[in-house]
Chain A
Amino acid sequence: MTTELLIAAGSIDQIRSYAGAGANAVLIGDSRFGARLPGSIAEADLKEAVACAHDLGARAYIAAGKLLRNHELPALPGYLRAAAEAGADAVTFGDPAVWMAVRDAAPAMAMHWNVEMTGTNSAAAAFWSRRGVSRAVLARELNGEEIADFKRSGTIEVQVQVHGMTNIYHSQRNLLQSYMDYLGREASLVDLGPSEGRFLIEAERPDERLPVYEDDNGTHVMSADDICLLEALPELLEAGVDSLYIEPLLKSEAYNVAAIRSYRRAIDAWHRDPGAYEFDEEWLAPIRALQDPGRELSFGFLYKEQVY
């Protein structure tokens, strides 16, 4: 099977344009169970959304990766059954409550384990693999060697983010609202959401803009740079990474389409003949052309050594 190219989609139109541009799979859902999605696809629309993806040859995964509270549990079984009836190909989870609900309400559904920055080793993935989980989503803070070792050491599929911003801080506190209140501003009248373009600048790092927004799930701070592993793809493909994820959050649809096309070309070229594969600068140009000049494209943690 060729390596999967995956992206989150916030509407049926986006499913259409992303699958049309070459994504093999889309991640969809709503903010009741998923966090930091580019848009909501309601439970009632899941059938149409999944069918749309399938018609275009793409798989559809349901995002249910949030950490849940008691009051959010009752709606979960019905949602999972609706996803199963719609024909969804897998559900991503982080909270064990979702694993419990899948077991009871949709036992045939495939499960992907995504605990964001805490998915850091293959033994933890094996714990879930023994419980029927088929894929681990790796922390973005792992380097290339760790990714390769993770894949080598397990039998589970691995998914790695190759492009876009990453969440670097998530709080259930309403930090923007609180600060506005502290300053005496009428925060209740202001939209604090992702479309408002707010960002933080740390006092010692004037060149780094960290996008920040608030929604039903709390406050989210995002990375100042965008990961772009296009040039490093052979490393990931040789390591056997099963799915490459593009994060579309806070980007235009045109940008995301350009990113999908570029990665599609690179992945296909590699699979045609890994030995003859050569990186083509042309693949990067469309992304660069649409890249926010205030945000650097970087290799993320791929070549980093962290201390502690």
Chain B
Amino acid sequence: MNGTAVHAAEAAAGNGRRYRLDRPELLAPAGNLEKLKFAVHYGADAVYIGGQSYGLRSNADNFSFEEMREGVEFAARYGAKVFVATNIYAHQEDLPGIADYLKQLEAAGIAAIITADPAIVETAMQHAPGLEVHLSTQQSTMNWQAVRFWKEVGLPRVVLARETSMEEIREIKSHVDLELEVFIHGAMCSSVSGRCVLSNHFTDRDSNRGGCCQSCRWKYDLHQEQGPIGDPGDNMFTMGSKDLCMIRHIPDLIEAGVDSFKIEGRMKSIHYVASVVGAYRQAIDAYMADPAGYELQPAWEEEIGKAANRPLNTGFFYSTPGASEHIYEPEEKPAPYDFAAIVREYDPATGIAVVEQRSPFRPGTEVEFVGPGGRSFKQVAGPLSDTDGAAVDVARHPLQLIRIRTVEPVAPLDMMRKKIGSV
């Protein structure tokens, strides 16, 4: 540990309530119940989800209260918690329902809400005291006085602005004993959070209530009085930023005193969430087990790269992003691997697994099985059959259950993937 982090830990221990978590929390997104299960199974200590109201992802297939209860129950089996993002900036018409909604979240067993609007902060503290209130990154908090303010208000945690640097996080932690959460992976607004209404202006959709249509990633011509800047063949101006990835810097983050490591992406696939969570879980555990002997494993980065192929960078942690951190060229290339199936059952006596199809494969397809903790192996698929025992030449139907012999043991919720385009 460096000096500042030691100081922070001592300060926190000295004043009765300890705000610093014993070990950092890995907080993952879950766009629906199935993704929640995968996120938790692959190692998330907590997941955040959206409910039917007051969240910024109005398109995601958000959770009903019933699904929340089921999610909370599932997570509890792993000792994991469920948070709900209520991170809009409310307008007058949104105010009347807030208290009821928060009470229902409390009743469903939700551990915390992630919220930016002081109206929702106060309503939660008054009407749903069983919910922790975490201040959302939408408040763009990046200095220790502001963190102190929210501590005085009574909040146990602040999610820092994505503009906060590693050095600033250390300073904040040394001034205030409060849980700090930071984004470590995923897509980001290039604006200061909450301070972009491009979508409101272009399309009458309110970005601060979930209506953002990613106008920052559209193409713009930049002009000066004499005419356009850039030649006809040049790529156009955009405000889009590349995705964040901090897998190489886990020790820095832990030593700076970050309590919760947050992954972005409630709209992302199961394959993505499980792969990214799995990689960070291994990195955090490796560091906590032996800080001095910690070594970055190339496999973790490879694992992330198998589920998504977007250029990555370290955001504001080490310096202000420049030209190479922005998107001027077509960015997304297909991920090198496809999600082929989920393991549903495994019989160790016969070595046969029942898997649920997510994309086509056949006898002879080269596949890779992956489980939590980095457990993985490759094999060529042998003969396939359906659950009645009839031979299958190609597993072509989504969700179809297929029997396949695996060369090593697997477990339910393991993933089977294949090289992109191969069948």
For the complex, what is the distance from the CA of A169 to the CA of B190, rounded to whole Å? 9
Q: Which of A172, A199, A305 has the most CB of B within 10 A?
A: A172
Decide if A223 touches B161 in the complex (CB within 8 Å): no
**Chain A residues with CB under 8 A of B236:** 203
Render B191-222 as a binary contact track against A, CB cut-off 8 A, 1 for contact.
11011111011101111111100011011111
Q: Given A97-B143, A124-B119, A183-B229, are A169 and B197 also a contact pair (CB < 8 Å)?
A: yes
Scan residues 69-100 of chain B and give those whose CB is less than 8 A from a CB of chain A: 89-95
A205 touches B202 (CB 8 A): yes
B175 — nearest CB in chain A belongs to which residue? A70
Q: How far is the CA of A259 from the CA of B325 in the complex (A)?
A: 42
* Distance from B188 Cβ to chain A, minimum over Cβ atoms (Å): 10
Interface segment, B26-34, B145-153, B271-279, B287-295? B145-153
Restricting to B321-337, which residues have a CB under 8 Å from any CB of A? Answer: 321-323, 325-326, 328
Q: Which residue of B lies closest to A306 (CB)?
A: B206
Min Cβ gap B207→A in Å is 8
Q: Are A223 and B201 closer than 8 Å at their CB atoms?
A: yes
In the complex, per-residue mask of A131-171: 1 if CB is within 8 Å of any chain B CB, else 0: 00000000101100010011001000000000000011111
Contact indicator B198/A221 (Cβ below 8 Å): yes
> Are A97 and B145 also in contact (CB < 8 A) when A70-B168, A174-B322, A182-B328 are?
yes
Q: How far is the CA of A221 from the CA of B90 in the complex (A)?
A: 24
A contact residues around B215 at 8 Å (CB):
202
Tell me which of A67, A97, A308 contacts B211 (CB under 8 A): A308
Q: Is the Cβ of B237 less than 8 Å from the Cβ of A179?
A: yes
Interface size class of B (residues with CB under 8 A): 35 or more
A149 touching B218 by the CB < 8 A rule? no
A181 CB within 8 Å of chain B: yes
Contact at A97–B89, with CB atoms within 8 Å? no
Task: Please give the number of chain A residues whose Cβ is less than 8 angstroms from any Cβ of chain B in the complex.
Answer: 73
Residues in A whose Cβ lies below 8 Å from that of B328: 179, 182
- Partner of B171 from A70, A128, A199, A200 at Cβ < 8 Å: A70
Let me know if B150 and A121 touch, CB within 8 A: no
Decide if A68 touches B146 in the complex (CB within 8 Å): yes
Q: Which stretch of A5-13, A112-120, A236-244, A248-256 is in the interface?
A: A112-120
B400 adjacent to chain A (CB < 8 Å): no
Q: Quick one: closest A residue to B142, CB to CB?
A: A69
| B123 part of interface (Cβ distance < 8 Å) | yes
- Known A201-B221, A202-B219: A183·B234 in contact at CB below 8 Å: yes
Which residues from chain B contact A173 at a C-beta distance below 8 Å?
A: 190, 241, 320-321, 325-326
Task: Collect the chain A residues with CB atoms within 8 Å of residue B93's CB.
Answer: 146
CB–CB B95/A100 < 8 A: no
Closest 4 CB pairs of A and B: A308-B211, A123-B119, A97-B145, A96-B149
